Amino acid sequence: MLAISAVIPRDPLNLIGLALCILGIFLSAVFLVAFKSHKTLSEASSTIRAYLKFFYACFVKPHSDDGTGNQQDALESFYKAQAEVYDTTRSRLLHGREDMLALVASQLKHRMQAGLITKKPVWVDIGGGTGHNIEKMSSFLSVPEFFRSVYVVDLSPSLCEMAQKRFERLGWTNVKVVCQDARAFRLHEHEHEAHQRKEITLQTQPVHDLDENADVGGAELVTMSYALSMIPEFYPVIDSISSLLSPNGIIGVCDFYVQSRVDYQSRNYTGGVIDRHCIWISRVFWRTWFEIDRVNLEPARRDYLEYRFGTVLGINARNHFLGVKLPYYVWIGCSKDSGASTTKLAEIDAAATESPYLSALDLQTGPTPGDIEIRSKAYESAIVNLQSSLPLPATWYQNHHWRIHHDESLQKHVRFNNTYIYAFTWEDSRVDARLLRVRPDDVILAITSAGDNILSFALEKPRRIHAVDLNPSQNHLLELKVAAFTALGYSDVWKLFGEGKHEDFRDILINKLSPHMSSLAFQFWLQNGPATFNKKGLYYSGGSGHALQLVGWIFKVLGLSNEVKKLCAAPTLNEQREIWQRSIKRVLHSRILTWTVIGNEKWLWKALGVPPAQRNIIEQDYLKQGDAPNMNPIRSGHAIYEYVLNTFEPVVNTTLISDENHYYLLCLQGKYSRKSHPDYLTPKAHIKLSKPDAFDGLRIHTDEINEVIARMRPGTLTIVVVMDSMDWFPPTGPHALRQIKALNKALKLKGRVLLRSAGLTPWYIKKFEESGFSTKRVGARMPGTCIDLVNMYASTWICTKEVSLEQEDVKKGLRKPSYGSMDQWKI
C-alpha cells in the first residue's frame, strides 16, 4: 500500500495532469485507429478532425444552458458543436445498433408473413438523432417501400437538422423528423388513422392518453438507440411507448448498461442472463465516466423497460473498444399483454401436459375431474407473474411455443456449465423407426440428446413429440435445428448440420433464425455459435467433440491421417477391411489407449457421456464371462477394451462407412458426406420439415423425465424413448423403480418404452416386469455381429404396458379411482 501511494501524486494539479495524460493517450490511440482504417490521407485527416470535435464537445467545452434546467438546452450544449461529426465518431463507440435493427426487421417480416401485421408498418424512432438508424435499416428492409410512415423523434434541433438533410438527400418522403420531447409525442397528431381511432375512443369511453393500442393506428415498431440512458425523466418515456405500440408491435432498444446479478437474479422474465453481470470496477468506472456527459447507466432504466413490457430477445455484450470492455445490451420486446390471456395460457399448457383444453364455459357444465387441474411448471410460473403484475417469462412471448419455460438458475441446470455433451445423437434412428412404426395418433416422449432422433420422429408426423433433457444446452441445439428447418433453405441447413460449418452463422442467426428461437437459445448461440460454426465445426464441439478431437490428434501424431481418409472413402467392404487391419485397428484397439483414456472414468463421462453406473454394467457382463470374483483395475480396463473391440470390429467388417454408416463417418472426419448422412438431412426431409406446420406438435421440456411425466395427464403417451438413460441409475436406489412406475402411469395400455443398454440383460428389466410391463429384447449384440449401425449398445428392449398400476391399486383399495386416464374417460 505504501509503495502504491508513493507512486500516485497527491497534489490536485498533478492529479489533473495525470488524468489529461491518460486522456491524451486514449485519444492518440483513437486517432491511430482512425488513420489506419482509411485509405487516403484526406480521409484520415477528416476523421481526426471529427474526433477532435468530439473530444472538445465531450471533455473540454462546458455544458452550459440558460439556467432553467431545460433538457433541450442541455442537449444543444452537448450536440451543437459536434452534430456534423456525430455519425463519424459514434461508429466505433455505439455497437449493437445494426444487430438491433436486424433483429426487429426479422421480427417484423415474420409477423407480416404470419398475418399478425396486415398493413404497412409505422415506425417511431425515439431519440433518433441524425437519422442514422433509418438509413442503416435499408440494409435489412426497403424503408421507402416497407414502412407506411417513419418518425424520427429527437429533442436536439442540431441533430434533427442533420436528419432532415439526410432524408432530403435520400429522397425518402415517408420519413418525418419531429423535434419534440418524446414524452409528449403522440401518433394521432401525425397519423390520420390514429387520429380517427382517437376520436372514436373519445366518444365511447374516458381516455388517459394511452389510447392507441389498436390494430388501426398504432406503431408496429418503436426503437431507441443509445437514447434511453440520456433521458432524465425516463419513466414517462417508457410508459409513452404503450400509447405508440400496436398490439402485435415490436420494441427495439440498444444502449449502454452496468448491472450486478444481485439486481436481477430472482427474476424469471428477463429472457436470459448470459454475460449480464458486470464486475464492480466496471460498474463504478463506466457509471462515473458517462455521468460527465449526462449519460446515466443506472440499472433502473433497463429494469423498468423489462418490467413494463414482455421480453422477446435479449443480448448482453461488450464493445471491445481499444481493448476496453464497454457493456451494452440489445433488447427486443413486445406488449406485456401479448398472449397473456388465461385462455391462451391454458391452451398452450394443455399441449404441454397432454390435458384436454377446456374453456371457462366447459368447466361450468359439470363436475371437474380432479386431474383437470394438472398444470405445467411453466403455467404456474406464468400465473404467479400475472398475479404480481409482472410480465410473463420470456418463453411465453415466443413466436412459436416449442420451448417450455424453465428456471435457468436452478443448480440442476447450471451444473452443465452452459455446454452440451452430445453434438450428434448416437442412436440408430432407422432401427427405431422399424421397431416402433410411428402412427399419426402417437404421442411420443423422447430424450432430446442432440435432437437428431427428434427430427427423425418429426418426419413421421405423430400427433405430439415431447423432447426432454435436463441439460438446457442440448435443447438449445434442438431449437437451432428446428429454427433452421423453419427459416433456411436446404443448402444452409446442409452447411450447418451436414458439414458442421457455416461462414455466415452470426448473420443468419440474427437475420433469419432469431424470430424462431427462444431468448435463452438465441443468447446461447450468439455467444457460442460463431466460434463453433466458423472455426472448429459443430461436431468438434461439446463433450463428444473432445473425443473426436483426441482421436484425430492421435491419428495425426501417428501419421495415420491419410489412412483415415482412405477408410472414409473406401468404395468396397474388402478395401475398407484391408485399410482397417493394416493400420487403424492397432491404434483404436491399443490396450494402452483403452486403459489410459477410454477406461478412465472421468474421460468416459466428460467426453463420451458414459456414467459410472453404466461402466459397472459393462464390467458385470464381462465378469459373467470369466472366473474372477473381483474386478481389479487391470481387469476393469480389460472389460472396457473387450467392449470397444466388440463395438468397432463388426462395424468395419459388415457396414460400409463411406456409403451407409454415417455415424462412424462423422466420428472419423468430423462431418457427413452427401452419400452418407442422417435421413433428416436429405432434400426430401427438408421439404417435409420446412412446412409451416412441421413442428406444431413439438414441445421441448428442460427437466428430468420424472418431473415432466408427473405433470402429464395419465394414460396419454403411446411411445417413450429413454435411450440408455436407465443404465445411469444405481441398482441399489429407488430411482429406477420410481421412473418405471411413473412411465406406467403416463402410458396408455399397450404403450411402449424403447430402451438400449450396455448390458445384455440389465438389472432393471425385472423392475419393468414387476411394474405391469411385458419385456422383449428386440436386439442383442453378439461377438462379431452388429446390433445396428452404431453397435455401441449390447441390447435393445421394448417394454409394453400390459397392466395399469393405478387400476390394480384401486382394486386392492390402496387408492381412490382417478378419472385422469384416457383409457377410462373418453372425451
pLDDT at 426: 87
Boundary residue ending a domain (41, 72, 89): 89
Query: Burial, 169: exposed, middle or buried (Cβ in 10 Å; 0-12, 13-18, 19+)?
Result: exposed
Q: At 242, which CATH number? A: 3.40.50.150
Same structural domain for residues 271 and 382?
A: no
Same structural domain for residues 555 and 638?
A: yes
Residue with cell 375512443: 201
Same structural domain for residues 84 and 99?
A: no
The three three-digit cell numbers of residue 112, written as one number: 407480416
Same structural domain for residues 64 and 99?
A: no
Number of domains in the chain: 4
How many Å apart are CA 446 and CA 438, to the nearest integer? Answer: 13
pTM score = 0.86
How many Å apart are CA 463 and CA 460, to the nearest integer? Answer: 10
Residue 190 lies in a domain: yes
141 three-class SS = coil
Boundary residue ending a domain (89, 123, 149): 89
Same structural domain for residues 99 and 184?
A: yes
What are the CA-CA distances from residue 706 to residues 338, 350, 745 (Å)? 32, 18, 11
The three three-digit cell numbers of residue 590, written as one number: 491399443
Same structural domain for residues 59 and 138?
A: no
Residue 451 lies in a domain: no
How many Å apart are CA 227 and CA 256, to the nearest integer? Answer: 9
Please state the length of the chain: 827
Residue 729 lies in a domain: no
Boundary residue ending a domain (304, 334, 364): 334
How many Å apart are CA 241 and CA 250, to the nearest integer? Answer: 10
The three three-digit cell numbers of residue 738, written as one number: 420410481
Residue 442 lies in a domain: no
Same structural domain for residues 204 and 306?
A: yes
Pairing of strands 464-468, 443-447: parallel
How many Å apart are CA 160 and CA 155, to the nearest integer? Answer: 8
Residue partners of 406: CB distance under 8 A and separation at least 6: 377, 378, 413, 472, 701, 702, 703
722 three-class SS = strand
Strand runs labelled E in 155-287: 175-179, 219-225, 245-256
Q: Which amino acid is at 253?
A: V
pLDDT at 598: 55
Residue with cell 379411482: 817
The three three-digit cell numbers of residue 323, written as one number: 481493448
Same structural domain for residues 54 and 130?
A: no
Strand arrangement, sheet containing 310-321: 175-179, 149-154, 122-126, 219-225, 245-256, 324-334, 310-321
pLDDT at 135: 93
Which string of b and e fits 102-115 if b means at least 16 CB within 10 Å?
bbbbbbbbbbbeee
pLDDT means over runs of 10, the chain (827 residues) = 38 57 57 51 55 54 55 56 54 85 97 92 93 94 96 90 92 94 88 65 50 58 94 91 91 96 91 93 90 86 96 94 85 88 80 72 42 78 90 93 92 91 92 96 96 97 96 97 98 97 97 97 96 93 88 86 93 94 77 56 52 81 65 58 83 93 94 95 97 95 94 95 92 91 96 95 95 96 90 95 79 54 36
How crowded is residue 549: how many other Cβ atoms within 10 Å of its Cβ? 16
Print the domain residue range for 370.
342-397
Same structural domain for residues 22 and 144?
A: no
Residue 638 lies in a domain: yes
The three three-digit cell numbers of residue 523, written as one number: 443468447
How many Å apart are CA 564 and CA 570, to the nearest integer? Answer: 10
pLDDT at 370: 46
Same structural domain for residues 273 and 294?
A: yes
Give the DSSP letter string of 743-758. Answer: HHHHEEEEEEEEEEES
In degrees, rounded to 5, the angle at the alpha carbon of residue 397 between the alpha carbons of residues 391 and 402 is 135
Residue 29 lies in a domain: yes
Q: Taking a C-beta distance cutoff of 8 angstroms, is the pair 253, 224 a contact? A: yes
How many Å apart are CA 514 and CA 103, to the nearest integer? Answer: 7
Residue 779 lies in a domain: no
Same structural domain for residues 67 and 99?
A: no
How crowded is residue 208: how many other Cβ atoms within 10 Å of its Cβ? 6
Q: Taking a C-beta distance cutoff of 8 angstroms, is the pair 621, 760 a contact? A: yes
Helices 429-436 and 452-459 sit at what angle, rounded to 10 degrees? 40
Can you give 386-407 as a three-state secondary structure string? HHCCCCCCHHHHCCCCCECCCC
Residue 724 lies in a domain: no
Same structural domain for residues 244 and 371?
A: no
Which of 505, 486, 457 shows the shortest CA–CA distance to 398?
486
How many Å apart are CA 253 and CA 231, to the nearest integer? Answer: 14
